[in-house]
Amino acid sequence: MIISLIAALSSNRVIGKNNDLPWRLPDDMKYFMETTKGHYVIMGRKNYQSLPEKFRPLPHRTNIVVTRSANFAAPGCQVVHSLESALAIARSANQQEVFVIGGAEIYTLGLSLATRLYLTEIQAEVEGDTYFPNINLAAWKELSRKRHVADDRHQFAFDFVVYEKK
């Protein structure tokens, strides 16, 4: 099974601020939705709670929430207490690819297990309080890169980049 991390991050690795995205990039949201549609997605509790209620659970995906909280409930989602348990659910369902969608703690846990990264690399330094883990790019091969310029709907230029572990 391919274990993929998907994230949008600024050049200073920011992925969030005040439990929200510090940017509005509609084409990145569309990319995320299209890439993860039909797959199992694994997220941490804080990431789940940051989703607008109308998107909980994320539609057209099997949502798995990882939390240390014994009594946490996420209607329409499977709740587990470790990343390993979440991955076991996807494996038992014979998934070919599973997506870890954040936040920072889950990305940190998942990075060593990941075989693919789908990164939206935002060409700006952004203020934030949540960061994507450091990546040793020497351990990864770039499979594709698609540039997106800043425009009237997108404050920053960014690249959609897919990496595979060497």
> 1-21, pLDDT tens digit by residue?
999 999 999 999 999 999 999
DSSP secondary structure code for residue 129 in this structure: S
Residue 105: how many CA atoms within 13 Å on its side-chain side? 13
Task: Please tell me the distance from the alpha carbon of residue 2 to that of residue 40, in angstroms, as a whole number.
Answer: 11
Neighbours of 99 (CB within 10 A): 24
Task: Please tell me the distance from the alpha carbon of residue 119 to that of residue 162, in angstroms, as a whole number.
Answer: 6
Residue 156: per-residue pLDDT: 97
Residue 100: per-residue pLDDT: 98
pTM beyond 0.75, yes or no = yes
pLDDT band at 157 (very low <50, low <70, confident <90, very high): very high
Calculate the average pLDDT of the chain: 97
pLDDT band at 48 (very low <50, low <70, confident <90, very high): very high
The domains of the chain, with CATH numbers, are 2-6+16-165 (3.40.430.10)
Identify which of 11, 20, 40, 46 has the alpha carbon closest to the alpha carbon of residue 135. 11
pLDDT band at 111 (very low <50, low <70, confident <90, very high): very high
Residue 94: per-residue pLDDT: 98
- The answer to whether residues 133 and 104 touch, using CB atoms and an 8 Å cutoff, is yes
Please, what is the Cα angle at 18 between 155 and 83, to 5 degrees? 105
DSSP secondary structure code for residue 133 in this structure: P
- The answer to whether residues 24 and 155 touch, using CB atoms and an 8 Å cutoff, is yes
Convert the pLDDT of each residue in 73-89 to its tens digit.
999 999 999 999 999 99
Task: Please tell me the distance from the alpha carbon of residue 166 to that of residue 102, in angstroms, as a whole number.
Answer: 23
Residue 33: per-residue pLDDT: 97
